[in-house]
Amino acid sequence: MMNDKVRQVLEKTKGKKIGVFIDDANIFHSQKEIGWKINWASFRSFLSKYYEIAFVNFYRGKYPINFKISQKIKNNHQKFVQILQKNKFQVIERDLKKIYIDKSQKKFIFKCDFDGEIGYDVASLGSKYDIAVIVSGDSDFTFLKDKPIKILFFCFDYKAPWEIRRLPHIFFEEIETSIKKHPPKRVNITKKLYNKL
């Protein structure tokens, strides 16, 4: 539920033109840990109630072409990207890198780091917006406070670093009811068949 802090932040910045930079690699893992997902279309809709949106850049990793994945995963990936593009997100992708986490090189994780690219885009696209909305819980982006750029962070409260807490920010938990992705409703097959009788 929106609190007074969020209302104050929105009131101070309302009506400004924003450029949005979403660090999916950072937010993706946070969503898994906290147990609920963000509906990105709803998030954009939330922003549009208070700001003029210049653009929304969505930075995400993708599996390398030579990496074997199931057709279902490929389809889910393509569907997700299509939904983003349909809702006017500019999707910027880069191949995920395989990082081994044991000496025998049998266990690994995929990782994709967009910090440098996002930082560059925030600076180079500065003439297109009044406020840079940084959607990430990565404290590496707090260096932007020393630039002639106004910034506003969106991230999860439960693991937000102190550097972000000292800067203008809104936590996803504070606007959860406006942006939370709800699971599809399950159809009661038995009830459905009964109604046809």
β-pairing, 131-135 vs 17-23, is parallel
pLDDT at site 118: 94
- Mean pLDDT score of the chain: 87
pTM: 0.84
**Domains of the chain, start order:** 4-196 (3.40.50.1010)
Q: Is residue 61 predicted with pLDDT exceeding 90? A: no
Q: Which residue has the higher pLDDT, 174 or 70?
A: 174
pLDDT over 90 (residue 117): yes
**pLDDT of the residue at 2:** 79
Is it the case that residue 192 has pLDDT exceeding 60?
no
- pLDDT bracket for residue 30 (50, 70, 90): confident
**What one-character-per-residue DSSP string does 57-97 give?**
EEEEEE--TTS---HHHHHHHHHHHHHHHHTT-EEEEEE-E
Q: 128: pLDDT confidence band, cut at 50, 70 and 90?
A: very high
Q: What is the mean pLDDT of residues 33-54?
A: 96
Give the pair of three-digit tokens for residue 69.
């994945």
Question: What pLDDT does residue 75 have?
Answer: 87
In angstroms, rounded to a whole number, what is the distance separating the alpha carbons of residues 28 and 38? 9
Distance from C-alpha of 114 to C-alpha of 163, rounded to nearest angstrom: 19
Q: What is the mean pLDDT of residues 147-151?
A: 89
d(CA 131, CA 53): 10
Q: Flag whether pLDDT at 189 surpasses 60.
A: no
Per-residue pLDDT tens digits for 71-91: 888 888 889 999 999 999 999
pLDDT of residue 101: 67
